[in-house]
Structure 1
């Protein structure tokens, strides 16, 4: 399951290990395409924590990261942003990206 985060708990929930955050909105078509891919990865990859954040309900965190388009995926490793990806990406593309950061 992909946990939904808020502005209040984002930092605490994404400070350890490799974390992929999906920044999305309900009205965003490409976000609705990206979501099932993230859900599938979350079920098959136990080395990465997968979380999501609704940018409309939580405007502070996306603003802090300069997110201007969605979907945007941010990969953090031990609390530091190591990758920012904008637009739809398939499972293979995301697995390749994440593989670089898994020990």
Structure 2
């Protein structure tokens, strides 16, 4: 699957199921431009996953929601739960490793920890 454009309108639908990787980027950002082909290649090599791009110039509301002040910023979801977030471009090997790690998560443990965190925050 090729990358899809994420907007505030399709965000919730895109992250609710499966594994989703989000790349926050901007056209003027040099590191973003260098990371783009790596992200695209990963999307082509992993057609069972969703790879979404957020143009921070166009989707400022999403950028603020995630606190993506440095770009590129990479965020990963699994089954509707955010499981990774980090600013900075990744090398191909690092992105491949991240994909493997997200695939290998024990989601029962992740759900329990997430629910505990949400309860502490009163959500």
TM-score normalized by the length of structure 2: 0.79
Q: What corresponds to 1:77 in structure 2?
A: 78
Alignment partner, residue 23 of structure 1: 24
Matching residue of 1:41: 42
The structure with the largest helix share of the pair is: 2
Query: Relative contact order (C-alpha < 8 Å, sep 6+): which is higher?
Result: 1
Give the alignment's Cα RMSD to 1 decimal.
1.1
In structure 2, the gaps of 5 or more residues are 105-123
The structure whose residues are more often strand, as a share, is 1
2:21 is the counterpart of 1:12: no
- Greater gyration radius: 2
Counterparts of 1:90 and 1:73, CA distance in 2: 12
Equivalent in the alignment of 1:50? 51
- 1:7, 1:59 within 8 Å by CA — same for their partners in 2? no
Where 1:67 maps in the other structure, the secondary structure is coil
Deviation at 1:80, TM superposition (A): 1.2
TM-score, normalised relative to structure 1: 0.94
**Number of equivalenced pairs:** 103
